[in-house]
Amino acid sequence: MSAAPKVIRYKFGGALGNRMFEAMLAHSLADRIPGLAVTGPRLAEWGLRPPPLDLPPRHLKLLGHKVDVARLAYLLREDLIDGIETMALGCRMELLPPLALAERLFPPREDGVATGDDALLIDIRAAEILGPAHPAYRPLPIAFYERVASETGLRPVFSGQVADDPYSEALRARFPRADVLPNRGPMWNFANIRRARHICVPISTFSWLASWLSEAATIHLPVIGFYHPGFRPDVDLLPLGDPRYRFHLFPAGAWGGTAAELDAAIHGDEAGRELTREEVLRLAQPGLAPPQAP
């Protein structure tokens, strides 16, 4: 009689980007820990239908972002537990699966708009985060988009949550000749980001994943909100070894969603500044000594 399989079951919370991270973490752990089978709810947008498996009684639960993979492997190997239940997002570079596995989970689609080599696709996260929805989410300063567009010489193209709100109206006023792609739903927007050659990422797990999975030449990542190690040290979505990324530093701090903060995002002059790779490394890993010259 064969032994029952060790099982990891993921549960969902949040919008599509968070659900993708939750499912991806379970598959990433199963890829690293021999004999671990994945089960959980369907992710219909991507056709993910894990087999229905019972979660063993002896299991532990994962939450948050930090996961000790070596410890989990030890507990499973020594038969101290038989399963894992996870609602963890695992938004940390060391927990991401190889790109080949991520692309099998979330394969490229044939739809979406190819914006061209001369375009800077600026994905917008707005809607509820214009107010006090979450301290780690916020609209990016419009001055930041002006700086990046000016420094790169690229043609701004906006996608995502550009709607009828004061922030979106200000974007249209400040970039009157910019194209605004139609919002045909999350999967369409994901495909647009993934097909772009140059991307400016908002504070969004959804947009971060689409950019990471893209074949972009450059990805502009603002170090702000939950991307900022000084504000969320439990999160690490700074791909230091990926040459596509250019990092732009902003002050760390919570977003309160007040009228004054929104006005500053629209009319203020805070545009951030681009960081060197060494600066990003020291920001993400403050205990490291500076690299030595050869």
- pLDDT by residue for the chain (294 residues), tens digit each? 346 789 999 999 999 999 999 999 999 999 999 999 999 999 999 999 999 999 999 999 999 999 999 999 999 999 999 999 999 999 999 999 999 999 999 999 888 888 999 999 999 999 999 999 999 999 999 999 999 999 999 999 999 999 999 999 999 999 999 999 999 999 999 999 999 999 999 999 999 999 999 989 999 999 999 999 999 999 999 999 999 999 999 999 999 999 999 999 999 999 999 999 999 999 988 766 555 544
Distance, in Å, from the CA atom of 118 to the CA atom of 155, rounded to the nearest integer, reads: 6
Domain boundary among the residues 57, 75, 105 is at 105
Distance, in Å, from the CA atom of 139 to the CA atom of 137, rounded to the nearest integer, reads: 7
259 in any annotated domain: yes
Would you call 242 exposed, middle or buried from its count of C-beta atoms within 10 A (0-12, 13-18, 19+)?
A: exposed
Specify the pLDDT at position 110: 85
CATH of the domain at 154: 3.40.50
Closest CA to 58 of 86, 81, 39, 85: 81
Domain boundary among the residues 58, 77, 105 is at 105
Specify the pLDDT at position 38: 98
Specify the pLDDT at position 112: 87
Specify the pLDDT at position 291: 53
Specify the pLDDT at position 115: 93
SS3 content of the chain, % helix, strand, coil (to 5): 35, 15, 50
Our count of domains for the chain comes to: 2
Amino acid identity at 167: Y
Instruction: Examine the domain organization and report whether 201 and 227 are in the same domain.
Output: yes
Domain boundary among the residues 105, 127, 162 is at 105
C-alpha triplet 90, 94, 98: angle, nearest 5°? 95
Instruction: Examine the domain organization and report whether 90 and 174 are in the same domain.
Output: no
Instruction: Examine the domain organization and report whether 237 and 273 are in the same domain.
Output: yes
Q: Which domain does 249 fall in, by range?
A: 119-284
Question: Can you give the pTM of this predicted structure?
Answer: 0.94
211 in any annotated domain: yes
Instruction: Examine the domain organization and report whether 93 and 139 are in the same domain.
Output: no
Instruction: Examine the domain organization and report whether 77 and 132 are in the same domain.
Output: no
Instruction: Examine the domain organization and report whether 90 and 146 are in the same domain.
Output: no
Instruction: Examine the domain organization and report whether 100 and 125 are in the same domain.
Output: no
Q: Do 88 and 67 meet the contact criterion of CB atoms below 8 Å apart?
A: yes
22 in any annotated domain: yes
Contacts 24+ apart (CB under 8 A), 238-243: 238/93, 238/280, 238/284, 239/93, 239/212, 240/93, 240/277, 240/280, 240/281, 240/284
Distance, in Å, from the CA atom of 159 to the CA atom of 51, rounded to the nearest integer, reads: 35
